[in-house]
Amino acid sequence: MASFFIGTSFPETLFVGTPRSTRRARSRRLHRVFVGCVLHVALFHCHGTTATAQQATRGFVPSSSTANSTATKAATQSESKPTPTPALAKVRVPGEFEPQRAIVLSITDWMPHHYPILQQIVDKTSQHVNVLILYDELDQLLDVTKLLADSNPNFEHVYFSQLEMDTIWLRDFGPRLAELDNGWISIDFFYEGSRPRDDSFPSRWAAIAKTRLRTVRWTVQGGNLISNGAGLAIATNRIFSDNNVQFPNPLPGTNPQQEARKMVTKEFKRSFNLDQLVILEPLQQEATRHADMFATFLDSNRVLVARVDRFRDPINAAILDRNAARLQTARVAGRPLEVHRIDVPPREGMFWSPYTNIIMANKLLLMPTFDTDSKLIVQNAIATYQRLLPDYQIKTVDMTSMKTLQGSLHCLSLNLPDKAPWPKTYYSFKSTIESLGNKATGDE
């Protein structure tokens, strides 16, 4: 038998409306969870758990009550009779290219100089998909309603619901919505310990949307787990550093790092009902280390991978080529996964133009751009999407004001699949204007 512990060392956290030093929490708080377990061949059975719960950034952050209850329960179990891993209900996480009921956004901490981005998203999703905007306070609702009413007082696809958050990066901490045989389930990973409203968002969503809830005691950010809707998902190797399993006394002849990676991969595949989880290399000199910064699924059998000029950035060009080659080994329904490429601008220091960090919804594709991107490379990227998705409307969103925040369209948004429930209490754009009266139209 050998013991191991799981220690999560979280890189940085996302905050908006303030300089990056605040937004990504450069203080890098540390949180570790120590788990004593036994190792039987390649199977790991926990028999005792203790936790040190400190303020942490991003990830595996059980509350003290959860950790203590787990420890108490585990401590009563016999080492000679480890509790088998319970079976989970089979789920399917839809692909973002599938029909969508809504795109969900939060205006928490959405600063006024970023409002043009919100305006563009709302304008360009009209006639394609609903936009559900979550707000904290009446003042936020009033400001955004004024903004949108100045453009079009008759938006029929915009809705509001009050749900408090700490930040706007819904993709990272929001629930992963999955289909069951008889309904929907919200999958909740542990997240940022010092941002309780973000961390509790999946469970609160489950309550107000009346879905089931699955709590997963591991951590991953939504931008780093992308599903093709058919049992295949991609992530970067950041999931191994976020879920840092270590073996202080490994068994002779074992490879601790390999066994740790097997454990993490197995648990993610189990939680998401995946046949395959393809682990890729993250970009260098890119803060999030998320897969959505360089890859996206076009449909269940096609994936798009970024490509950079190898003369301008040879290291990342090689990383992306290796990722594309790795994806070509995956198979979907017995066929090789099709891998396509899209040229993206070279990075500016830590800042990337992530043309795969997109919003897809009902034959609409929104692609982020910066004002520093050359017209030619933007036109070529649009042409690539149009060639690969001829039935789609391809539109761009100028994300320049958020460039230094190192988040883009996919990071901001949450896809609500078709037929998935949404909050029982919501307000249409028209009824919101009528309720707010002159305050919403600026005619006071």
With residue 321 as reference, give the H or E element that holds it: helix 314-327
Query: What does the DSSP assignment read for 384-396?
Result: HHHHH-TTSEEEE
Confidence at residue 83, expressed as pLDDT on a 0 to 100 scale = 46
Token pair of 300, please?
A: 């269940």
**Helix (H) or strand (E) run with residue 142 in it:** helix 138-151
Separation between Cα atoms, residue 260 and residue 249, nearest integer Å: 13
User: How far is C-alpha 188 from the geometric centre of its chain's CA atoms?
Assistant: 11
Q: Write down the residue that tokens 């409002």 correspond to.
A: 115
User: What whole-number distance in Å separates Cα of residue 130 and Cα of residue 127?
Assistant: 8
> How many angstroms separate the CA atoms of 93 and 182, rounded?
14
* DSSP state for residue 193 in the 8-state scheme: T
CA distance 396 to 119: 13
The pLDDT of residue 30 is 30
Tell me which architecture the domain covering 100-427 has in CATH: 5-stranded Propeller (3.75)
> What's the pLDDT score for residue 437?
74
CA-nearest of 81, 77, 46, 50 to 64 is 50
Residue 85: what pLDDT?
A: 53
- Tell me the C-alpha distance between 264 and 150, whole Å: 49
Count Cβ atoms below 10 Å from residue 423 Cβ, excluding itself.
19
What distance in Å separates the CA atoms of residue 6 and residue 172, rounded to the nearest whole number? 21
Is residue 304 within 8 Å of residue 286, measured between CB atoms? Answer: no
**pTM here?**
0.82
DSSP H or E stretch at residue 47: strand 43-52
Q: What is the dihedral of CA 391, 363, 234, 236, to 10 degrees?
A: 110
Tens-digit pLDDT profile for the chain (444 aa)? 444 444 443 333 333 343 333 333 332 333 333 333 333 333 333 322 222 222 233 232 323 333 333 333 333 333 334 445 567 889 999 999 999 999 999 999 898 899 999 999 999 999 999 999 999 999 999 999 999 998 888 899 999 999 999 999 999 999 999 999 999 999 999 886 678 999 999 999 999 999 999 999 899 999 999 999 999 999 999 999 999 888 888 888 889 899 999 999 999 999 999 999 999 999 999 999 999 999 999 999 999 999 999 999 999 999 999 999 999 999 999 999 999 999 999 998 888 999 999 999 999 999 999 999 999 999 999 999 999 999 999 999 999 999 988 889 999 999 999 999 999 999 999 999 988 875 555 555
Take residue 74 and report the two structure tokens written for it: 């585990």
Secondary structure (3-state) at 174: coil
The maximal CA–CA distance of the chain, rounded, in angstroms, is 77
Beta-strand pair 176-180/183-189: antiparallel
Half-sphere exposure (Cβ direction) of 128: Cα atoms closer than 13 Å: 23
Residue 113 to residue 19: CA distance in whole angstroms: 13
Domain positions in the chain are 100-427
For residue 76, how far is the Cα from the chain centroid? 36
CA distance 134 to 141: 9
Tell me the C-alpha distance between 70 and 4, whole Å. Answer: 17
Q: What is the pLDDT of residue 148?
A: 93
**Contact predicate 96/297, CB 8 Å:** yes
Question: How confident is the model at residue 441, as a pLDDT?
Answer: 52
Other residues' Cβ atoms within 10 Å of the Cβ of residue 294: 29
SS3 54: coil
Say if residues 63 and 215 touch (Cβ distance below 8 Å).
no
